[in-house]
Structure 1
Amino acid sequence: MDKIGLFHSLKSDAWVKPFLKKYKRSLIAALILGFVTFFCAGALMFNSGYLISRAASLPENILLIYIPIVLTRAFGIGRPVFRYIERLTSHNWVLKMTSNLRLKLYTTLEKDAIFFKRNYRTGDILGLLAEDINHIQNLYLRTIFPTIIAWILYAFIIIALGVFSWWFALVMLLLLGVVLFLLPLWSVIVNGARQEKEKQMKNELYTDLTDNVLGVSDWIFSQRGEAYVALHEEAEKELRETTREIHRFDRKRDLLLQLMFGVITIALLVWTSSRFEGNHGGAANWIAAFVLSVFPLIDAFAPLPSAAQETNIYKDSIDRLNDLPEKEEIQPTSESVEGPFHIEIQEVTFSYPETKKEVLSYLTLSIQAGEKLAILGRSGSGKSTLASLIRGDLLPTDGQITLNGIDTVRFGDSITDYIGVIHQNPYLFHTSILNNIRIGRQSATEEEVWDVLARVGLKEMVEALPDGLLTMVDEAGLRFSGGERHRMALARILLKDVPIILLDEPTVGLDPITEQALLDTFFNELHEKTIIWITHHLQGISLMDRVIFIEDGQLEMSGSPKELEQTSERYRHLQAIDRGF
């Protein structure tokens, strides 16, 4: 049932199937080499058994054992040689295919990053990259190749036995059929569901762990760190229990598999004893040949049950890749936008697919060139989502956000020429201060860099460093204080000289004195720019032209700080809370 589902997925697959035709010669060569490898292994033992038995019977002519000696040497050499070549061929085929798959996946994510982010979380991407591509690789190395090779051997063995005895060929057809079909089917039915559950749990752990690590500060600030650890440990405990159940079943099935091979060996021994009865010293030498040839063939058939039970995992991986959304056809704009720059937000609605809850609901807002706008709201009210929508990092579920009449999503990477962002935790890279500032504009001269450092109040600090601008910054810039990192981020913005600045809660975690000094620097240096300031409290709010409050995704309050202080009881209440009254 699950194998049929896998075949259906492969039939309608647009990711993996194209490479079957592209590299079909390597694929056919790998299958043929796999069959020849096991044929050599079986033939080696067949000839060895015959040779030992024949030599023990004191043959009257040395030529009777000379040919088996030569064949034993040939098959003995051929087995490792063909095995090595088969491994090279099959792994080369699979690695070429999966490298192309990874390239195609990266290209898809890069081209459709906005739309992928709207529909998937970061953990989903990790699940695709870390799990699904590897599963598809294993699909061929551990399931498809061994299964096809085993089927070819199965047909060859039955036909070969049929030459000697048609009724014993039917017996082996049944016994080997149990190993080849019944045990794999049993594994799929019983253990396949457990492996599917295990994979889903791993994907959930990827997603949850990624989301929680990215939001670890929220867990710490809410003093729920122990609760997070407990949740994660519980999920891992459930995963371990599922894994133990899989292993327990594997051990039982493998025991039954070995018993079946024992039955096959005994059946072959009984048949050869009766078939060659009364031929002491002659045809009876074939008994050892037939019986010993079984043992290397075990390696061909033994992996099939465990490989079969993983087919639904492979099916899910193929389906996940093929379920990636087609690129939404939005042509990037080639227009050169001239100032003054104004932003229009018209009836914008947005919801994340995993929650289906509307983060923003029919929000309408106009931001004029040079305006200083503060956006207030509780955590989860949609402030940061609105910032991502304005930047074009997310696509509205409904509605439109435009910059001078052009959808912001159509600007693509060029949106950085118009809108700059300073986040809560500006990132500094492990390179020199000069290179970190030049991220704003790579062509900037050292004189221009010193100028923006002076404007943000960091010139004296950098001059005091032993290597000045060439001082290396450690990873994430942890040698600098929070205020200094924010000032470096501002220096980048000033070097870029964009008309619109998004301040996404840049003062979170700073002490009041540092916060106020940083805000003064921001608004002094950016006084000619359009500023969209997302904040959770009111320090420095009097510097803004307009304040809006978003709650439950809707605009609840709008006006200048003075107007709201006079007319809005709610605003006065927020002021009182912010001042600690």
Structure 2
Amino acid sequence: MTKLKTRLRRDHWLVPYLKTQKNGLFWSILLAFLTTFAAGALMFVSGYLISRAAQRPDNILLIYVPIVLTRGFGIARPIFRYAQRLVSHNWVLKFVSKSRQRLYESVASTASSIRGQLQTGEILSLLADDLDQLQNLYLRTIFPLGAGLVLYLFVSIGFGIVNWAFMLWWLIMLTIILMVVPVVSFWANRQRVRRQKQLQAQMYTDTTDAVLGLQDWVLSGRQSDLMTRQGRVMADLSQTKHQGMAFGWWRDFTIQLLVLILAVTTLFWAGHQFAGQKIAVNFIAAFTLAIFPLVDSFLGVNQGVSEASFYEDSLQRLNELPVPKVSDAPVATVTDATITLTDVTFRYNQQVIIDHLNLTIAPGEKIALLGRSGSGKTTLLKLMTGDLTPATGQVMLGQHPVAQLQSQLASLVAVLDQQAYLFDTTIMNNVRMGNPSASDEQVKTAIQKAGLQPLIDSLPAQYDTKMQEAGQRFSGGEQQRFALARILLQDAPIVILDEPTVSLDPRTEALVLNQIFNVLSDRTIIWVTHHLTGINHVDRAYFLAEGRFTLADTPQNLRANSAHFRQLLALDNFH
């Protein structure tokens, strides 16, 4: 309980929205209560009406009021239910919309570091699962729990007016149904829910990475291993869900049994309370029948609280994401795209990754960063884009520290890496992601500049062709050209090429590189690569080792003056 209080006190996703949107929360809970109240009142009045009508009243006017009330509550129940759905879903959709925007901003602000820690499937799991859990937290837990507590107070007060002794019995039973059973259910179901979420996250990860790496599985002849692995996870998940359903059945059965005990004791109490009174005896059926519509509310509270453990790790994970910083300072106008690193040092766990590095990249200049895996190339890119902060030194973009330009970095820097990140939608929609406000003509122009027009013309649906998940319909070279078209549409002055051709065959690699450097001739290009194919496209090449540049010159000078460079070039040409 202490841990839960601490989490809620530090929460900046759930609690702040509840505080600022109190009116919507109030009306959602009130309308949920009124729905249950109307259903209970309908059964109460109907029970009284049936019982009173069986006494053959001398005057029809004696049952006229119950008839009108029956019609009124019968109409009120669906109206309240519809209004509650309308208000609660509108409230939740607004919350999810704002949360999704915040989540994307948080992920985008640390995209490089997140991608270094998580697989693609894990990021998709984060986005898909946590947002859904937050939505269900309100609809399935907070709203039913709030309405259940209001109902608890209302019923207790109602019985207290009639008979305080029987009110204590109802308080005890309702406490068991609405508090004890949900809490016991929550703790008993907690480990199973965690196991289910772990398996779901693993399935997201494995499935996404299997789709993106399907070609590797096929080429290695390990299709059966892939199917076995996926089947094992799905079987474990199915078994865990079956256990959860069985637990839910027993929980609901227990509640139904408690409600039955409550109904039987209410029947005996009403019979004793109103026996011998000609008019009041009709309340025996009224009080007894009024219990049964409450069952849905009881079940809703128990189910919602039992599932609350679904949301624990989602909230924890979301709260561990950085809060996007909103600065009151005016947005800086960047007119100079010069990148300057001055005496930059970066350490990770006391290990020096970048060591007192100096580098200046002029606007429009093309450079290549080369080095072995672990030499610091990726770290250097993160320093240039402000994803990492140097221990010493400064990284500038024009006249501004790059760390102060995070809110507008997407308009200044574009990234083309190994994975094109294409989605199962049309070609137009995929390319338009580079600039959502671009016109159809601008999108088509970017596609044409990327050298894709002959391909588009050969497709029956042309620009409306579905690309399939991860762009599987097209070859690796074509996927990179589509990603290039997206960058052309983004129109950022600086483009980072993070080994975009590493998975392509030599001929396709050469064609794609020619296309990239040709259409981006007016942009600054920072090309991270591990070999020298296409090195003549750049103005300068930098070899990084142990956090320092061991070689730095034009390809022509390096070819003439560096035996090591010539040796590497010969190896690349041999392969």
* TM bucket, shorter chain: 0.7 to 0.9
1:424 to 1:310, Cα distance in 2 relative to 1, 3 A:
closer
1:579 corresponding residue in structure 2: 574
- SS in structure 1 of the partner of residue 322 of structure 2: coil
Question: Partners of 1:414 and 1:10 in 2: how far apart?
Answer: 32
1:47 to 1:69, Cα distance in 2 relative to 1, 3 A:
farther
Q: CA deviation at 1:176?
A: 3.0
- SS in structure 2 of the partner of residue 347 of structure 1: strand
Q: CA deviation at 1:187?
A: 0.5
Aligned residues: 556
Q: CA deviation at 1:360?
A: 4.8
Question: Partners of 1:141 and 1:23 in 2: how far apart?
Answer: 15
Deviations 1:489-508 (A, max 9, x none): 87998999987664443444
2:533 aligned residue (539, 545, 562): 539
Q: CA deviation at 1:326?
A: 2.6
2:58 aligned residue (58, 62, 70): 62
Letter of the structure 2 residue corresponding to residue 254 of structure 1: D
2:388 corresponding residue in structure 1: 395
Matches within 5 A, 1:26-41: 26-41=24-39
1:79 aligned residue (45, 64, 73): 73
CA RMSD of superposed structures (Å): 5.1
1:212 to 1:69, Cα distance in 2 relative to 1, 3 A:
same
1:407 to 1:515, Cα distance in 2 relative to 1, 3 A:
same
2:301 corresponding residue in structure 1: 304
1:402 to 1:211, Cα distance in 2 relative to 1, 3 A:
farther
Matches within 5 A, 1:194-209: 194-206=192-204, 209=207
1:102 corresponding residue in structure 2: 96
Say whether residues 1:151 and 2:146 are aligned partners.
no
1:543 to 1:156, Cα distance in 2 relative to 1, 3 A:
closer
Q: CA deviation at 1:513?
A: 4.2
1:366 corresponding residue in structure 2: 359
Deviations 1:326-346 (A, max 9, x none): 33477687355448x454374
Q: Could you list the runs of 5+ residues in structure 1 that have no partner in the other structure?
A: none
- SS in structure 1 of the partner of residue 149 of structure 2: helix
1:280 to 1:485, Cα distance in 2 relative to 1, 3 A:
closer
- SS in structure 2 of the partner of residue 302 of structure 1: helix
Cα contact 2:367–2:541 (8 A) shared by 1: yes
Q: CA deviation at 1:169?
A: 3.1
Matches within 5 A, 1:307-318: 307-318=304-315
1:240 corresponding residue in structure 2: 238
Moved more, 381-390 or 183-192: 381-390
Question: Partners of 2:233 and 2:101 in 1: how far apart?
Answer: 33
Q: CA deviation at 1:190?
A: 0.3
Q: CA deviation at 1:236?
A: 3.3
Question: Partners of 1:268 and 1:416 in 2: how far apart?
Answer: 66
- What percent of counterpart residues are identical? 34
2:133 corresponding residue in structure 1: 135
Q: CA deviation at 1:398?
A: 4.3
Deviations 1:197-255 (A, max 9, x none): 43354345445555665565666666666555544443333332322221121112222
1:268 corresponding residue in structure 2: 266
Letter of the structure 1 residue corresponding to residue 109 of structure 2: F
1:236 to 1:35, Cα distance in 2 relative to 1, 3 A:
same
Matches within 5 A, 1:289-438: 289-328=286-325, 334-338=332-336, 341=338, 343-344=340-341, 346-349=343-346, 360-362=353-355, 364-369=357-362, 373-378=367-372, 383=377, 386-387=380-381, 389-390=383-384, 392=385, 394-396=387-389, 398=391, 400-404=394-398, 406-411=400-405, 423-424=417-418, 430=426
Question: Partners of 2:163 and 2:407 in 1: how far apart?
Answer: 73
Cα contact 2:53–2:63 (8 A) shared by 1: no
Say whether residues 1:258 and 2:256 are aligned partners.
yes
- SS in structure 1 of the partner of residue 567 of structure 2: helix
Cα contact 1:346–1:401 (8 A) shared by 2: no
Moved more, 289-298 or 219-228: 219-228
2:168 corresponding residue in structure 1: 170
2:183 aligned residue (165, 179, 185): 185
1:205 to 1:290, Cα distance in 2 relative to 1, 3 A:
same
1:198 to 1:578, Cα distance in 2 relative to 1, 3 A:
farther
Question: Partners of 2:126 and 2:411 in 1: how far apart?
Answer: 32
- SS in structure 2 of the partner of residue 62 of structure 1: coil
Cα contact 2:39–2:77 (8 A) shared by 1: no
Question: Partners of 2:123 and 2:89 in 1: how far apart?
Answer: 21
Letter of the structure 2 residue corresponding to residue 62 of structure 1: D
1:287 corresponding residue in structure 2: 284
Q: Which of the pair has more CA radius of gyration?
A: 1
Deviations 1:312-366 (A, max 9, x none): 3345444544444233477687355448x45437435387xxxx89895447252
Moved more, 411-420 or 116-125: 411-420
1:558 corresponding residue in structure 2: 551
Deviations 1:421-467 (A, max 9, x none): 655576899568xx99x98x989x99xx79x96xx9x69x8699699
Letter of the structure 1 residue corresponding to residue 303 of structure 2: S
Question: Partners of 1:493 and 1:294 in 2: how far apart?
Answer: 64
1:222 to 1:66, Cα distance in 2 relative to 1, 3 A:
same
Cα contact 2:107–2:114 (8 A) shared by 1: no
Q: CA deviation at 1:579?
A: 1.6
Matches within 5 A, 1:113-124: 114-118=108-112, 120-121=114-115
Matches within 5 A, 1:39-50: 39-50=37-48
Q: CA deviation at 1:563?
A: 5.3
1:143 to 1:211, Cα distance in 2 relative to 1, 3 A:
same
- SS in structure 2 of the partner of residue 96 of structure 1: helix
Letter of the structure 2 residue corresponding to residue 558 of structure 1: L
1:207 to 1:398, Cα distance in 2 relative to 1, 3 A:
farther
Cα contact 1:422–1:489 (8 A) shared by 2: yes
Cα contact 1:15–1:321 (8 A) shared by 2: yes
Moved more, 287-296 or 561-570: 561-570
Question: Partners of 2:173 and 2:455 in 1: how far apart?
Answer: 83
- SS in structure 2 of the partner of residue 539 of structure 1: coil
Q: Could you list the runs of 5+ residues in structure 2 that have no partner in the other structure?
A: none
Question: Partners of 1:46 and 1:463 in 2: how far apart?
Answer: 71
Question: Partners of 1:211 and 1:90 in 2: how far apart?
Answer: 41
Question: Partners of 1:368 and 1:95 in 2: how far apart?
Answer: 51
Deviations 1:344-402 (A, max 9, x none): 37435387xxxx89895447252554765433345676545644654x27334645433
Question: Partners of 2:254 and 2:263 in 1: how far apart?
Answer: 14
Cα contact 1:344–1:403 (8 A) shared by 2: no
1:361 to 1:158, Cα distance in 2 relative to 1, 3 A:
same
Q: CA deviation at 1:119?
A: 5.2
Cα contact 1:276–1:283 (8 A) shared by 2: yes
Question: Partners of 2:44 and 2:378 in 1: how far apart?
Answer: 73
